[in-house]
Amino acid sequence: PPPMPPPPLPPPSLLPQPQLPGQTHEWTDTWTRYWQPARASDTLTIYVQIDKTGSSMLKNTLLEAPPESLCVLDTHNIQSNPYGPRPDAHPDPSQMRVCRGSAVLIGPGVVFGSCAAVAPRRCQYLTLLREPAARSTSEYNYFCRACAERSKFCGRL
């Protein structure tokens, strides 16, 4: 027999909204203003980073791409970012670059569920995965034993 089609998606108002400590609806409204697709085929790719999978390497590769070939929206550059903007973040969000075609969204506050903020426009997720035992060992050694990234997880276990 042919495979069954997937169930229909619920209306966008019923989809789970990404909620992290400090995240507000105003924050979602802020970053969504920077993606203004010109065509129905334009897609927002939401890059969800997972520690110790090579995600920093991919993020840096995306950030180094020529702006004419790839429009990258980095939430670090938005002053109202509740996760803490970079020191060089734009004090006036209206001065930030607006992506008028397909774009990639990266940075703090970008989570699975973020596509609901741009529905019904096209949106997809991108993430890197790693063999779970190797990732856990690497994460423990990096964050707990070496107390890396400003002691992100030191003393919390």
Distance CA 79, CA 56 (A): 22
| pLDDT for res 104 | 92
| pLDDT for res 143 | 81
In contact, 41 and 122? CB cutoff 8 Å: yes
**How many CA atoms lie less than 13 Å away from 61 in the CB half-sphere?**
6
Give per-10-residue mean pLDDT for the chain (157 aa). Answer: 52 41 52 85 92 87 86 74 54 67 86 87 92 89 81 67
| pLDDT for res 99 | 87
| pLDDT for res 142 | 86
What are 147's two structure tokens? 């107390």
